Structure 1
Amino acid sequence: MDYVALREKPRQFLALTSLHVAEFDDLLTDFTPAWERYHRWHTLAGKRRQFVAHRERPNAVLTGSEVKLFFLLTYLKNNSLQQHQAASFGISQARVSQLATALLGVLNQVLAARGLLPVRDGAELAQRLAHHPEPVFAYDGVERGVPRNPDYEAQGEEYSAKKKPTA
């Protein structure tokens, strides 16, 4: 995929990354220094470097932080197979795995610093919502079945007879 060409097609860029070009650029302002810090001291495998890397190798296939962020966002948005991502960016499947792991760690740090990571704890969510100015929220969730209690007598107490599971 050609990052530079796709930047000129805002609708396609949005479809591939879930971000408008301006939003991508804003995220890039924090991602670039975070990635450079990580890359300076760590390999793609996450191991500490013996010697500090002062710059990216000139033969790198994905050159520049903007291309790496674009690579990661397209990978996350499309939930693609690593083989597909490898073919799209001209790298090996093993390299896709290494890059995705390293870049995702850096992106999570950036999103955490901006306070944009999703809340995973109910108590923390309640605390955040208590201070929110708008009291009405939309919830997008998936209804899942509850595992059946193995105790036969407890099953009778829990059964509401309201819904039958669909096969």
Structure 2
Amino acid sequence: MLFYANIKTYPAVFRSFTGLDVPEFESLLAYFEKAWDELREEAADANKDRQRRGGGGAVPTTLRTHEDRLFFILVYLKLYPLQVVMGFLFGMSQGRANEWISRLGTVLQKALGMAGALPARDPVSAKRQFEASTVREFIIDGTERKTQRPSENERQKTYYSGKKKAHTLKNDLVVDTGSYTVAYLSPTVPGKTHDKVLADQCALEFPPNSVLFQDTGFQGYAPSGAIVMQPKKKPRGKELTVAEKIINRVISKTRVIVEHVIAGVKRSRIVKDVFRNTRKGYDDTVMELACGLHNRRCRHRHA
């Protein structure tokens, strides 16, 4: 069985299993413990009228420590194995593994929020994030990830992406070029949704004189407060001028940052491989967790 105490002595292997170095894991562990305790207190308050004393039932034989609990959920997000495989690796049944994944995902989400690593999810919080940036230069881009083919015909049409030739989920991300972190993450929508349509629905506002880099998929998108920098398309039957080519090259060199950030987010294979979980809303939760883990890595390594 896998235990944190056994694998932490192999740093390269530990990073491959979790996506974090041991010091990064231990710094996140403090927030994880606090989040676990707070959620237990909230559950106790909600069930204060219960007649039996809390803590009854079978004694868990695995995941007894906070270290093993955090290690468990990070392994699941990073490697995204089948739940029956997770159960085998950690000495439990598939059903119990499913319960732990659900519970610990909530704890990790709260812990990353305490650490200030989660991206903003609404326009008001996003504007505060943008104002806190040291460079006030941002990049917006969309990203898709495959999901299982829906069984209903209408959902199949909605989730089918002609670009990817597969059924996908889509998010727009706004990246802070100063910190290489995800400042804002849009709601998760079906892959058929156009990048600009989703951006318009988010109704973001930027601080005055902010610079926003975007690709031609956001043609016509001009949010409040932002100076938009977008490559110019080659006119049909004509050529771009030398100056226009130079400007396009400069914009592209800056925009490549967002590709690096998305690659960092998708180090968590749960948002890279075909998404299999059917729990309602979990497709959005795991994307937020993956962005939070990426932000935590960036801030810890570039502190």
State the 1:128 CA deviation.
1.4
**Structure 2 residue identity aligned to 1:13:** F
- Once the two structures are superposed, residues 23-68 of structure 1 have per-residue CA deviations (whole angstroms, 9 ceiling, x without a partner) of 111111121243245457759xxx94742339x94x5222211001
Q: Is the 8 A contact 1:119 1:125 kept in 2?
A: yes
Specify the SS of the correspondent of 2:135. Answer: coil
Q: Does 1:116 align with 2:121?
A: no
Specify the SS of the correspondent of 2:89. Answer: helix
Specify the SS of the correspondent of 1:91. Answer: coil
Task: Count residues in correspondence.
Answer: 143
Q: Is the 8 A contact 1:40 1:52 kept in 2?
A: no
The structure 1 residue matched to 2:53, chosen from 26, 51, 54, is: 51
The structure in which a higher percent of residues are strand is 2
Specify the SS of the correspondent of 2:137. Answer: coil
State the 1:111 CA deviation.
1.5
- How far apart, in 2, do the equivalents of 1:146 and 1:107 lie? 29
- Residue 61 of structure 2 corresponds to which residue in structure 1? 60
Q: Is the 8 A contact 2:11 2:21 kept in 1?
A: yes
- How far apart, in 2, do the equivalents of 1:106 and 1:32 lie? 9
- Residue 19 of structure 2 corresponds to which residue in structure 1? 18
Which 10-residue stretch deviates more, 109-118 or 64-73?
Answer: 109-118
The structure in which a higher percent of residues are helix is 1
| Correspondences of 1:9-158 after superposition (within 5 Å) | 9-39=10-40, 42=43, 48=47, 50-53=52-55, 57=59, 60-137=61-138, 141-142=142-143, 146=193
Which 10-residue stretch deviates more, 115-124 or 88-97?
Answer: 115-124
State the 1:106 CA deviation.
1.4
- How far apart, in 2, do the equivalents of 1:60 and 1:39 lie? 19
Identity %: 31
Specify the SS of the correspondent of 2:134. Answer: coil
Specify the SS of the correspondent of 2:74. Answer: helix
Cα RMSD over matched residues? 3.0
Cα 1:3–1:141, aligned 2, differ >3 Å: closer, same or farther?
Answer: same
Q: Is the 8 A contact 2:120 2:126 kept in 1?
A: yes
- Structure 2, unmatched stretches of 5+, are 145-190, 195-232, 234-303
Which 10-residue stretch deviates more, 32-41 or 7-16?
Answer: 32-41
- Once the two structures are superposed, residues 63-115 of structure 1 have per-residue CA deviations (whole angstroms, 9 ceiling, x without a partner) of 21100110011111122211111111111110011111111111112222222
Cα 1:11–1:127, aligned 2, differ >3 Å: closer, same or farther?
Answer: same
Q: Is the 8 A contact 1:41 1:52 kept in 2?
A: no
- How far apart, in 2, do the equivalents of 1:98 and 1:70 lie? 15
- Residue 6 of structure 2 corresponds to which residue in structure 1? 5
Cα 1:140–1:69, aligned 2, differ >3 Å: closer, same or farther?
Answer: farther
TM-score, normalised to structure 1, is: 0.70
Q: Is the 8 A contact 2:87 2:97 kept in 1?
A: yes
